[in-house]
Amino acid sequence: MKTTNRTEGISVIICSYNGEKKIKATLSAILEQKIPSFLSWEVIFIDNNSSDNTLSNVKNYSSLFESKKIPLSFYSEPKKGKFHALNRGISHANYQYFIVVDDDNWLYPNYVAKAFELIHNKPYIGAIGSYSEPVFEHTPEKLPKWFKNNQGCYAIGSQGKDGDVTERKHLWGAGMVSQTELYEKMYAEHPSLLFDNGIEDIYIAEDTEYCLRLILKGYQLYYSSDLKLKHYVPQERLSYDYWEKLNSNIRNSYKIIDYYNALWKLKNPKYKSKIRRLRLKLASKYRYLVTSDPTKKQRHGIILELLSSSRERSRLLQRLNRFMSDRTLQNPYTTS
């Protein structure tokens, strides 16, 4: 973590694992950014333990960045997972705000400037999401039937209506804009549960966990259709096998994410009264007993654990309770 205060500006953090074939277009889009003269910015590239020529390809672009006077730095992160790569990028960021860019994201030319405009001087906003336009490797004559209704799982399309989308509870990591020191604060004393949970490391949903931590501490999630990027979709990601694997990984993340969701549910004002909490407890117990769906059973079980008067708590819930009781993380610009 940086020990000095960051200055006004924005850091573009690109994370990549074996992105050799994709990174050229991503960097080209960065080079085309239209940046106002008052705005300071930089590009930080993190190679997440790639086994191909990703990093050397990025280094080959150094002269182009230098010619446009765009600061470019690159680092390697040996730990597997985008969470670790992003943390490495954050630790080297020099500016107040940051944009997360995946190696298959091509930012529209006004992206960086618009991102700064949207978040600057709005400390109540925790993170901002963008519109993601798909670019397919091969224009398919007919997309798979399941794709249209599930493209959100691919971080494609809209993320709601412009403005406050806090009730959505998450934003895609691709193109996300946030406050650099706020991100550090959310994890400094409370490490990610996805990577240290006593169950297994889960290499997905780091963006969802961050957003849930933000809203549990009173920060808004925001969406702007003015922020646009193109999201490259290689042909192999349209296979049913890939879709099944993606779904399996998402379901696996529920082991952790459902704890955050349950805490968010109980923050709803309608559950403040003892009577309503008792009703919820009884309903959850009944549903826990009758459902055969393991995901639903888990969710009802978490609600029961949260509402239990027992002092016994799972390790996960103990850690989340410490996170929730940490008043230094509360958004000072809200009353919730």
Average of per-residue pLDDT across 164-191: 97
Residue 335 lies in a domain: no
**Euclidean distance between CA atoms 221 and 215, whole angstroms:** 7
**Euclidean distance between CA atoms 32 and 270, whole angstroms:** 49
Is-contact 128 177, C-beta < 8 A?
A: yes
Residue 1 lies in a domain: no
The last residue of one of the domains, among 215, 237, 257, is 257
Q: Are residues 176 and 57 in the same domain?
A: yes
What pLDDT does 125 receive? 97
Average of per-residue pLDDT across 49-58: 93
Is residue 5 pLDDT above 80, yes or no? no
Average of per-residue pLDDT across 99-126: 97
Q: Are residues 325 and 299 in the same domain?
A: yes
What pLDDT does 4 receive? 59
Is residue 88 pLDDT above 80, yes or no? yes
Close Cβ partners of 149 (under 8 Å, ≥ 6 residues apart): none
Residue 230 lies in a domain: yes
Average of per-residue pLDDT across 77-103: 96
Q: Are residues 166 and 301 in the same domain?
A: no
Choose among 133, 147, 135, 103: nearest CA to 239. Answer: 147
Q: Are residues 183 and 319 in the same domain?
A: no
26: left (phi over 0), alpha (psi -120 to 50) or beta: alpha
Q: Are residues 202 and 298 in the same domain?
A: no
What pLDDT does 3 receive? 45
What pLDDT does 1 receive? 52
The enclosing domain of 93 has a CATH number of 3.90.550.10
Average of per-residue pLDDT across 116-136: 97
What pLDDT does 56 receive? 93
CA atoms within 13 A on the CB side of 58: 26
**Euclidean distance between CA atoms 254 and 259, whole angstroms:** 8
Residue 334 lies in a domain: no
Is residue 187 pLDDT above 60, yes or no? yes
What pLDDT does 198 receive? 67
Per-residue model confidence as pLDDT tens digits over 215-267 = 999 999 999 999 999 999 999 999 989 999 999 999 999 999 999 999 999 99
Query: What percentage of the chain exceeds 90 in pLDDT?
Result: 84
Q: Are residues 153 and 38 in the same domain?
A: yes
Residue 268 belongs to domain spanning: 262-329
Q: pTM score, two decimals?
A: 0.95
**Euclidean distance between CA atoms 274 and 58, whole angstroms:** 58
What pLDDT does 143 receive? 86
User: How wide is the angle at C-alpha 124 spanned by C-alphas 121 and 129, nearest 5°?
Assistant: 90
**Euclidean distance between CA atoms 43 and 186, whole angstroms:** 23
Q: Are residues 276 and 210 in the same domain?
A: no
Q: Are residues 271 and 213 in the same domain?
A: no
**Euclidean distance between CA atoms 34 and 47, whole angstroms:** 26
Residue 311 pLDDT class (50, 70, 90 cuts):
low
Between the CA of residue 261 and those of 137, 237, 252, 282, 319, what are the distances in Å?
Answer: 35, 28, 15, 19, 15
Q: Are residues 245 and 325 in the same domain?
A: no
Q: Are residues 238 and 284 in the same domain?
A: no
Q: Are residues 49 and 178 in the same domain?
A: yes
Q: Are residues 238 and 286 in the same domain?
A: no
